[in-house]
Chains A and B, each alone.
Chain A
Amino acid sequence: MNRERKRKLESLTALFLSTLAAGFGLFWLVFILGDVLIHGIGALNLSLFMNDPTPAGVSGGGLRNAFMGQLLITFFATLIGVPIGVLGGTFLAEYARGTTISRVVSILADIMVSVPSIVIGTFVYAILVRPVGHFNGWAGSVALAIIMIPVVLRTTEDMLSLVPWTLREAAFALGAPYYKVIIQVVYRGAATGILTGILLSIARVAGETAPLLFTSFNNAFFSLDMNRPMASLTASIFQYAMGPYDDWHAQAWAASFVITLVVLAITILGKVIIKWRFK
């Protein structure tokens, strides 16, 4: 009897600790999000979106340049990264299905997903910033695209693999060449999945800071020229949060709030689409 009670007690303790762990995880989520919300909303105002930064120490001003820069850099990163990722994933799941090369690229891409983003920043600095002689927006886009490619490639591969093989055989039987089967049958079947992968990859790079520090750098002025240094929200947050002025800190919180909101919204949207489509 005593032994049985001991086992039950042991089980209850372990389960209690696991529940505590889940509570611990949720606690941080609420803590961080709540904190960003409270500080962010308080500092949020129209001037943040409408005005450019004032000289250091002068209060007022906004982050219009950083919002615009972030949009441009992310947009061009998507433009470079998505086609390469989708096409590469197509090769792995279709033309090279089941081959060694497909497995090797797939595993390498999985590793590349987690490779330190700051290392990618130094790499792009060496190939796109040093030869040009100054930081530029393109380098930032390329750095983000390099982070996107493996993410998009892997999801595309997985999503295309989910399309039943018989569907392709049906199209082959009608005499369709493979490229037509891929574009008109396979892509159509996997469209939502691929789109979700793209959304999640945009969410992933939108919050990246480290690879932008040495590539697009920062710019205190409004600029749409991708050949010049370009401001981004994340790099501005880094600069402002580390800076000495209260005004800067408030703007950094507001920018953090906006970027968290956007990233989480895209992520949740992606997850909702997956749920709705695949369950």
Chain B
Amino acid sequence: MPIIYKKNAVDLSFSLITALASLTVILLVLGIFGVLLRESFLSINKFGVIRFLTSTDWNPVKESFGAATTIYGTVITTVLALLIAVPTAIGIAIFVTEIAPSFLKGPIGVAIELLAAIPSIIYGMWGLFTLAPIMSRYIEPALQNSVGKLPMLGVLFQGTPMGIDIFTASVILSIMIIPFTASISRDAFNLTPAVVKESAYAIGTTKWEVVKDVILPYSKVGVFGGIALSLGRALGETMAVAFVLGNKHHIATSLFDAAATITVTLANEFTEADSNIYLSSLFYLALVLFVLSFVVLAIGKFFLLKAERKYSR
């Protein structure tokens, strides 16, 4: 079918208008990349690529900038969040698809999706006023007195538990991405043909064996894509962590220490940047985040498409 219709003047203009509208998406992707690249030019020239990415120095006074501390903070909080979120989300998906009685499936699915609809600033504020005090008073001291006493792991739980730290931020982040991962996993699980499951039951397998040996292998590509998409989301989450991370530029070894992520640094410092090189370095950070999350999201999308193709065959 021809994309642009030439037979009729109205059709021609309508098809052109719609074509332009859909091209805005491509323009936005290229535009964001191009503009961020242009704005960070000053910083790229001064600090280079490798040096910027590996330097732990973030010093606005001396005008010396490196992204390593913020990239480290971003990666640590995201990985910790995924460690909590992925098993929980898969558990939820198993519950919704295989265990829950049918009258519960809908409501629980909706409830989990509502978690995803709550604005991230609400998570952030709730984290600051409610979760952080609970963390510093009960959970973090308890962890210090149990796991913190172990010889190798102890270093992870050092310091005064303030509640404003990597641990709290990761917990909030994990709550935020659980619904997202859970709903994609649920959709992937649901695509397993009933016949395959029933054949497994017919030879006497238990429910868990069906999940473990039939459903999970069948849907692993889709679940993997879902995890990658959640990872991409978590990398760029700002407000939920901005309240409880403390924006401290250093390589933290303890989970109970404040840190900074790329997003938190941008949120806190962007409007206060007083020199060109400072602002340019912040744009450089934004560029790093854009490229990083774009690549991760693209990988996730690739796996989801692969899963879709597998099922449609």
Residues 198-255 of B contacting A (Cβ, < 8 Å): 206-209, 211-212, 229, 232-233, 235-239, 242-243
Q: What B residues does A35 contact at CB under 8 A?
A: 126, 130
- Is A116 on the interface with B (CB-CB < 8 A)? yes
With A90-B18, A108-B25: A29-B111 Cβ-Cβ less than 8 Å: yes
Chain A: interface residue total (CB-CB under 8 A): 96
Q: Determine whether the beta carbon of A24 is less than 8 Å from that of B88.
A: yes
| A-binding segment of B114-122, B139-147, B153-161 | B114-122
- Is A8 on the interface with B (CB-CB < 8 A)? yes
Q: Determine whether the beta carbon of B119 is less than 8 Å from that of A122.
A: no
- Is B22 on the interface with A (CB-CB < 8 A)? yes
Question: Which residue from A108, A209, A267 sits with its C-beta under 8 Å from B120?
Answer: A209
Complex Cα–Cα for A271 and B297 (A): 25
Q: Determine whether the beta carbon of A108 is less than 8 Å from that of B122.
A: no
Q: Determine whether the beta carbon of B271 is less than 8 Å from that of A217.
A: yes
With A87-B18, A114-B232, A122-B266: A15-B238 Cβ-Cβ less than 8 Å: no
Question: Which residue from B21, B242, B294 sits with its C-beta under 8 Å from A87?
Answer: B21
Complex Cα–Cα for A19 and B89 (A): 11
- Is A20 on the interface with B (CB-CB < 8 A)? yes
- Is A120 on the interface with B (CB-CB < 8 A)? yes
B-contact bits for A73-106, CB 8 A (1 contact / 0 none): 0000000000111111111101111110110110
- Is A171 on the interface with B (CB-CB < 8 A)? no
Q: What B residues does A110 contact at CB under 8 A?
A: 301
| A-binding segment of B45-53, B55-63, B92-100 | B92-100
Q: What B residues does A138 contact at CB under 8 A?
A: none
Within the complex, the shortest CB–CB distance from A18 to chain B, in Å, comes to 4
Q: Determine whether the beta carbon of B122 is less than 8 Å from that of A36.
A: yes
Question: Which residue from B4, B211, B263 sits with its C-beta under 8 Å from A118?
Answer: B263
Q: What A residues does B212 contact at CB under 8 A?
A: 14
Question: Which residue from B5, B19, B117, B129 sits with its C-beta under 8 Å from A203?
Answer: B117
Interface SS majority for chain B: helix
Q: Determine whether the beta carbon of B11 is less than 8 Å from that of A119.
A: no
Q: Could you write out 29 A-B pairs with CB less than 8 Å apart?
A: A11-B206, A20-B91, A32-B123, A87-B18, A88-B21, A88-B22, A89-B22, A90-B18, A98-B1, A110-B301, A115-B236, A115-B297, A119-B36, A123-B36, A127-B31, A153-B22, A179-B11, A207-B119, A208-B119, A210-B267, A213-B271, A238-B124, A241-B124, A241-B243, A249-B129, A256-B121, A260-B118, A260-B122, A263-B118
Pick the 4 closest A-B CB pairs, nearest first: A207-B119, A116-B236, A21-B91, A91-B18
Q: Which B residues lie at the A interface, using CB under 8 A?
A: 1, 3-5, 7-8, 10-11, 14-15, 17-26, 28-29, 31-32, 35-36, 38-39, 87-92, 94-96, 98-100, 108, 110-115, 117-126, 128-130, 175, 178-179, 182, 206-209, 211-212, 229, 232-233, 235-239, 242-243, 263, 266-267, 270-271, 282-283, 286, 289-290, 293-294, 297-298, 301, 305
Q: Which A residues lie at the B interface, using CB under 8 A?
A: 7-8, 10-11, 13-15, 17-22, 24-26, 28-29, 31-33, 35-36, 39, 83-92, 94-99, 101-102, 104-105, 107-112, 114-123, 125-127, 146, 149-150, 153, 177-179, 182, 203, 206-210, 213-214, 217, 234, 237-238, 241-242, 249, 252-253, 256, 259-260, 263-264, 267-268, 271
